[in-house]
A and B are shown apart, each in its own frame.
Chain A
Amino acid sequence: MDHRDEFISEAQEIIDGFGRDLLVLDATLKSRDGNRGPVQVDPEIVNDTFRAVHTLKGLSALFGVARMSTLSHHLEDLLDDLRLGRVELEPKVLDVLFRAVEVYGQILSALRAGEPEPQRAVEELLMSLDGAVSRGAGTASNPLADYDLDPGLLGVLTEYEEHRLRTNLAQGVGLYVLRVKFDLLTIDGALDGLKTKAKPHGEILTYLPSGEPGDPDTIELDVLLASRQTLEVLRLELEAPNIQIRPVPRRVTKTPPAPPLVESEPPQTVYGGMEPRPRKTHLPSAPMADEPPETPIGGAMVRKPSKAEEEQAEGNAQVGFGLSIRGVAQTVRVDIRKLDHLMNIVAELAIVRSALQRMTDRVRADPELRSLGLEMHRLSRSLDRHLGDLQGGILEVRMVPLGQVFDKLARVVRQISREHDKDIHLVITGAETEVDKLIVEELSDPLMHMIRNAIDHGIEQRKTRLARGKPEVGTIALNAFQKGNHVVIEVEDDGAGIDEQKVLTQAIRRGLVTEQEAATMLPRDVLAFVFVPGFSTKEGVDELSGRGVGMDIVKTNISKLGGVIDVQSEPGTGTKMTVTLPITLAIISALVVVVAGRRYAIPLASVLEALVFEPWALRTIEGREVMSLRGQTLALCRLEQLFGLPSPVTEELARRFVVVIGAGAQRLGCVVDQLIGQQDIVIKALGKSLESVRGFSGATELGDQHVGLVIDAPALIEEAFTTSDGRHAGRRAGSEV
């Protein structure tokens, strides 16, 4: 991976995280629910966004991505003001920040394509940055003066920490110091545990070594906690043998809500004795990486670094030289092409393995070599197992959570719903469901389109919703779950649904069905028309709730991934689109068959069953061959005819077979000459020049240098049914037979 790729993927990760944080902030803003009080946003998240942009600034400057660096620089200023409370978090500020996520994305895709960074988008964003900001009045009073805080402490607080301290005090929150003693070896976990425990009760502002001499294997920290709880509650909740809590006394005893002064220790000892204490251990740690690295705990650095130093340290840490050694060591960024390469090697090995297996069988068949044969058999089985593990391991590495796409979609929902002035509640489940990285990449466009359609045309305007007795806020559910070897993704809305009658009218007008046929069509089949290319024209948009817009493209993209899409709709109640995808594209099990002397692989995921072809069971309905399977009619497809191959002379073949393939709810029986067996195959793409050949999803090596084509079952089914359902197509084909 060259440096630019590395930069892109690292930047992408940071931007994704940034986007996620913005969504959380957005949710917080929304939860305010009309009451116009000050927003209680999680300060840590605001701080995270600041850090993300700060890191981006450093990274992009390092890699000479100038516009990104400029943009980050300005955003950083805004986010710094946000976290320091100089700017209030408002929807319009968030709008700009969300826009920034988009622009960052544009810059990265331009870089990927080797194009210059988009200039206009950045400039426009920079303009709107200035417009969005309304600086609040600086906090006038100085509540710090009321507290007996060591001036030495105030000197070492970062600007941010000081801001948080002021904010808490201004809100009348009490201050406590927790003196905690941790074992040096377990400090990371212990500190995290304390943070988690303390979080419901308040905010940890900072922590510093206490400077008390003690056991060389332990370290004593003073943790400054802002909390509204009483001392008693905190003691009950947090105190432990190694944790002691005491309040920070107020200098002037004003009225509460200052915490009661139970103990009166001399205040200067709170942060007293902060002389550097030599200690070898410098504690690099993953949890530390999450925290601003300006809070050293090992005692090696007791003096707080200045803000400039803090920035530098932070930059270094993020670029990968600095503090977060553990984080670097435990994850590796890998180019997906390298994994493809490994996959190719595994496939080659699998071919070697089957050759070995054949040899073993030959040796075993020789009575004189029996013991040797047995040993070979054992070895070959062991090889088999390990090869399987290796394959599984590589596949696992390729898996990423769908959450990556869902985050992007959440941003889209926010953006489009604001554009349309519709309130939409997005409910996501199963974001942790994992699929192959390549599938995730290819999914974002189709899903985005489905969501856009749901908002544009599914969810009604507020007034209409209220009139129909629905909640004012529309809901879009995005659900993902695993189902066997497949992943199912549902996009469901509680909008207007699709009017079947209107779809039918349109279908008749476009000559897709006759009126007689329309009368007897099942609702399922009617809805399938929205996937017909160009079905929904401009004037159709309103009539059909616009569901056809680009749905054919969505369907094509999904089938390219070996998936199927299904639509269900209840007029007035909503629409549900279901996408079913294979978990991985890289290696699949396939059934190898022979048609007219040529070998083809059918992905096992699409094979429902295989049976012996019995010519007497054959019937013809409207010029199409069908057979009866357990009381149901199964349409048949003669592959050699469809593919234009020479027809085998049936008499010569003892028997032929029917492989039943399925996609969604549709089934098709493919007549083949021979079943060779099941085989794990690596699907490889056909070149660009064969892109538009229908019926095949790729090719694979079947051993002995021979290439076999992989049948694209969903495409085949679709083809078989469109040429029979669409009457005109069926007639034309029929007349030529």
Chain B
Amino acid sequence: MSDESGARERGALVRRAVERGARTEYLAFRLAEETYAVPIAYVKEILKLPPLTEVPRAPFDVMGVISVRGRIVTVRDLRRRLRVPEAAPTRRSRVLLAELPTDLPGGGERVGLFVDEVLHVHRLSDTEVESAASAIGSDLAEYVAGIGRPTRRDAGDAEMIILVDVKNVLSTTSRGLQGPSRALPVGRG
């Protein structure tokens, strides 16, 4: 899928979103039964899940690598970071190609994020976003930027959207590597 058709798809979703003043656009997606979202500015493309090649001894949240027009892209599993139950991929499964600006840690690399289903684009104002700290106190807090509660929703839209802190998720790869997961494969066998 080209960037343009990705943009078209997003455009259609945007039309469903509530239009009210200057807001941030979030792309909502489903992981297991919960609704999550990331700022759409970071999403470059949405792909159907291509054949995935697993990488032995990779960090625990790496599902594998795929080839996107000749480029090798690492696909990471948000479910493992966010401790969401994993189910086998379905025909609704998608990979979001995300990229942080090069000046941020972990930026400049295009990374795939596995999601169970892509939902809508929501435009949320600051008043509709609760800070993460007040919402959840667990160690997951560092991956959660806040909780979105859209005041106007279409039928079937989630009441509560967990806003994923993409910057933290993408920049903490090395932390995952140096954690216990790295030592694991050595002992295996």
Interface positions of A (Cβ within 8 A of B): 344, 347-348, 598, 638, 640-645, 684-690, 692-696, 698-699, 701, 704-709, 723, 732-733, 736-737
Contact = CB atoms under 8 A, between A and B. Distances in A.
Nearest to A698: B72
B56 A684 contact: no
Nearest to B74: A687
Contacts of B184: 644
A104 B30 CA distance: 54
B180 interface: no
A193 B146 CA distance: 79
User: In this complex, which of B58, B182, B189 has the most chain A Cβ atoms within 10 angstroms of its Cβ?
Assistant: B189
B111 to A, nearest CB: 6
B57 A643 contact: yes
Given A644-B56, A687-B72, A690-B62, 12 more contacts: A598-B54, A641-B188, A642-B185, A684-B72, A686-B65, A689-B76, A690-B59, A692-B174, A692-B182, A705-B51, A705-B67, A707-B67
B87 interface: no
Contact of A687 (B109, B174, B186, B188): B109
Interface in B45-89: 50-51, 53-59, 62, 65-67, 70-74, 76
A348 B54 CA distance: 22
B148 interface: no
A340 to B, nearest CB: 10
A638 B72 CA distance: 27
Given A689-B109, A689-B111, A706-B51, A644 B57 contact: yes
Contact of B187 (A638, A684, A704, A736): A736
B72 A685 contact: yes
B113 to A, nearest CB: 12
Nearest to B110: A687
A687 B50 contact: no
Contacts of A696: 55
Nearest to B184: A644
B98 to A, nearest CB: 12
Contacts of A733: 186-187
A644 B185 contact: yes
25 contacts: A344-B70, A638-B189, A641-B189, A642-B56, A643-B56, A643-B57, A644-B189, A686-B65, A686-B72, A687-B74, A688-B109, A689-B74, A689-B170, A690-B74, A692-B174, A693-B57, A696-B55, A698-B72, A699-B67, A699-B72, A704-B51, A707-B67, A709-B55, A709-B56, A736-B188
A643 B51 contact: no
B74 A695 contact: no
B interface: dominant SS: mixed
Interface residues of B, number: 35
B67 A709 contact: no
Interface string B95-118: 000000000001011110000000
Interface string B159-171: 0000000000010
Contacts of B170: 689
Interface centre among A688, A689, A690, A705 (most CB of B within 10 A): A689
A706 B53 contact: yes
Given A644-B188, A687-B72, A699 B109 contact: no
Nearest to A638: B189
Interface of B: 50-51, 53-59, 62, 65-67, 70-74, 76, 106, 108-111, 170, 173-174, 177, 182, 184-189
A598 to B, nearest CB: 7
A263 B74 CA distance: 84
A341 B109 CA distance: 18
Contacts of B173: 688-689
A691 to B, nearest CB: 8
Given A348-B70, A642-B189, A707 B53 contact: yes
Contacts of A598: 53-54
A685 B73 CA distance: 9
Contacts of A694: 57
Contact of B53 (A644, A709, A732): A709
Given A644-B185, A687-B109, A708-B53, A693 B58 contact: yes
Contacts of B109: 687-689
A732 B189 CA distance: 12
A686 B57 CA distance: 13
Given A694-B57, A709-B55, A737-B189, A701 B62 contact: no
Nearest to B182: A692
Given A641-B189, A699-B65, A736-B187, A690 B70 contact: no
A684 B53 contact: no
Contacts of B174: 692
Nearest to B172: A689
A707 B51 contact: yes
A706 B50 CA distance: 9
A437 to B, nearest CB: 20
Query: What are the 4 closest A-B residue pairs judged by CB atoms, nearest first?
Result: A641-B189, A643-B56, A736-B187, A689-B173
Contacts of A347: 70
Given A644-B57, A690-B58, A707 B65 contact: yes
A587 to B, nearest CB: 14
A669 to B, nearest CB: 16
Contacts of B58: 690, 693
Nearest to A345: B70
A690 B55 CA distance: 9
A694 B56 CA distance: 9
A694 B54 CA distance: 14
Contacts of B73: 687
A197 B186 CA distance: 69
A700 to B, nearest CB: 8
